[in-house]
Amino acid sequence: MRIRKTYAVLGLGRYGSAVAKELVANGLEVIAVDANQRIVNELAAHLPVCKCADVSDPEVIKRLGIGTIDIVIISMANNLEASVMAVTLCKEAGAKMVIAKAANEMHQKILRRVGADHVVFPERESGIRLAKNLLSSGFIDMISLSKDVSIIEIKVKDEWIGKNLIELNLRRQYGFNIIATKSDGRVDVNIDPEETLGADTTLIVIANTANLKNL
């Protein structure tokens, strides 16, 4: 049985609150935290677990149980020192994945150096898009073409390795169309349906968003 992931969003500005709300709206367990009591009060009606705390304090990280959280999103790009402390403390506590928001390329390098697994830029990736990617387990990236249709990059599942697209018949099983494959950094739109899939193959597909839950 697949165990549902748990999330923590540290920093509830426009970006962080968008991530937290989208995850909660999809029924996920989210711990939302901000140091500003006014912000926490405003979001309490939308986020069931919303706390006011300083996440640069090791004792706070411990009390929040961050070490048991699967994915932590740190959304404090306007405060590099606090972001660095939060990333460091979360990784030391045992958080499985830490995603941090960066204000610029230099901040990205620093955040990656102190342990962030993934760094996002708010001007390039909206909070809602990040949340949708997190919700879509196994997806490398997802771009919404419209409310109902998305293009998704999917890692080849273990049970697909060594089989070809004819054998798998993914269109019938999952309701999506494969538009390209990617391997060794090369994208191939001339797909050979008889070629076996390797562990390093990525599928680029277009699908009705409603069908993504089938994955």
CATH code where residue 163 lies = 3.30.70.1450
The pLDDT tens digits for 8-25 are 999 999 889 988 998 898
Looking at the structure, do residues 20 and 103 belong to the same domain, yes or no? yes
Q: For residues 155 and 153, what is the distance between their CA atoms, to the nearest angstrom? A: 7
The confidence score (pLDDT) of residue 87 equals: 93
Looking at the structure, do residues 155 and 118 belong to the same domain, yes or no? no
The confidence score (pLDDT) of residue 20 equals: 92
Q: For residues 15 and 198, what is the distance between their CA atoms, to the nearest angstrom? A: 36
187: which strand partners?
A: 182
Q: What are phi and psi of 57, to 5 degrees?
A: -100, 120
DSSP assignment of 115-159: T-SEEE-TTTS-HHHHHHHHHSTTEEEEEESSSSEEEEEEEPPGG
Measuring CA to CA, which residue among 100, 168, 131, 96 is closest to residue 21?
Answer: 131
Which of 103, 135, 167 is the last residue in one of the domains? Answer: 135
Q: Is 127 buried (19+), middle (13-18) or exposed (0-12) by CB count in 10 A?
A: buried
Q: For residues 97 and 76, what is the distance between their CA atoms, to the nearest angstrom? A: 17
The answer to whether residue 206 scores a pLDDT higher than 60 is yes
Which range of 22-31, 118-127, 130-139 scores highest in mean pLDDT? It is 22-31
Q: How does strand 139-144 pair with strand 71-74?
A: unpaired
The confidence score (pLDDT) of residue 68 equals: 92
The pLDDT tens digits for 60-92 are 999 999 999 989 999 987 888 899 999 999 999
Looking at the structure, do residues 194 and 130 belong to the same domain, yes or no? no
Residue 1 lies inside a defined structural domain of this protein: no
Q: Which amino acid is at 23?
A: L
CB–CB of 105/111 below 8 Å?
no
Residue 190 lies inside a defined structural domain of this protein: yes
Q: How many domains is the chain built from? A: 2
CB–CB of 165/178 below 8 Å?
yes
Tell me, rounded to whole angstroms, the distance of Cα 214 from its chain centroid: 18
Residues 6+ apart with CB under 8 A from 17: 9, 32, 39, 43, 46, 47, 127
Please give the average per-residue pLDDT across 111-125, as a whole number.
78
Looking at the structure, do residues 28 and 68 belong to the same domain, yes or no? yes
Looking at the structure, do residues 126 and 25 belong to the same domain, yes or no? yes
Domain around 161: 139-214
Q: For residues 141 and 47, what is the distance between their CA atoms, to the nearest angstrom? A: 26
Q: How does strand 29-34 pair with strand 6-10?
A: parallel
The answer to whether residue 209 scores a pLDDT higher than 80 is no
